[in-house]
């Protein structure tokens, strides 16, 4: 079994996980990035995507999958800190709501809006697509 490291995942409105982790894969601006114990120090930008972690602690080997939005990851001295705007497990995602958010974002993108409104619509679309992908691929699709 791989050696553990300390993982803290914090969303803007709540702590998601704090404890031991055996491996972590995060979506970054450079692609999917894997982290294990004694990883070199680094800071990375997180983009909307799927985070996967194999936890240590009481139930070693438990796999966690979650949809994350933009944020940052810091690895230092065998500790990993993940700060994201939001994070959701697939079972927490309401499929119908995610589909409505997708449709609303698509409509907003089609409007002739200013640069700021267009950027906001793109961000909402990315979040909706990510939530739908997480739910359909990891949460049973219902």
Residues 71 and 106 in one domain: no
116-137: average pLDDT: 86
Residues 57 and 105 in one domain: no
Asked whether the CA dihedral 75, 80, 86, 88 is positive or negative, the reply is positive
- Provide the mean pLDDT of the chain: 90
Greatest C-alpha distance within the chain: 54
Are 15 and 4 in contact by the 8 Å Cβ rule? The answer is: no
Residues 84 and 104 in one domain: no
- Local confidence band at 59 (pLDDT 50, 70, 90 cut-offs): confident
CA 130, CA 85: separation in Å to the nearest integer?
A: 14
> Can you give the pLDDT at residue 114?
82
Residues 84 and 128 in one domain: no
Length of the chain: 142
Spatial CA neighbour of 105 closest among 90, 118, 88: 118
> What's the predicted TM-score (pTM) here?
0.83
83-109: average pLDDT: 91
Are 139 and 91 in contact by the 8 Å Cβ rule? The answer is: yes
pLDDT surpassing 80 at residue 112: no
Q: In this predicted model, which residue has the larger pLDDT, 36 or 105? A: 36
- Local confidence band at 40 (pLDDT 50, 70, 90 cut-offs): very high
**Domain range enclosing 108:** 94-138
């Amino acid at each position: 079994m791989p050696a553990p490291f300390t993982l803290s995942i914090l969303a803007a409105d709540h702590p998601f996980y704090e404890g031991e982790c055996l491996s972590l894969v995060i979506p970054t601006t450079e692609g999917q990035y894997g982290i294990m114990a004694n990883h070199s120090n680094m800071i990375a930008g997180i983009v909307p995507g799927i985070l996967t972690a194999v936890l240590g602690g009481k139930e070693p080997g438990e796999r966690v999958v979650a949809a994350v939005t933009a944020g940052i990851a810091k690895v230092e001295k065998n500790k990993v800190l993940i700060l994201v705007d939001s994070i959701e497990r697939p079972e927490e995602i309401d499929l119908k709501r995610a589909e409505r958010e997708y449709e609303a974002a698509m409509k907003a993108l089609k409007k002739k809006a200013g640069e700021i409104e267009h950027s906001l619509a793109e961000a909402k679309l990315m979040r909706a697509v990510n939530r739908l992908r997480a739910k359909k691929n990891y949460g049973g699709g219902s």
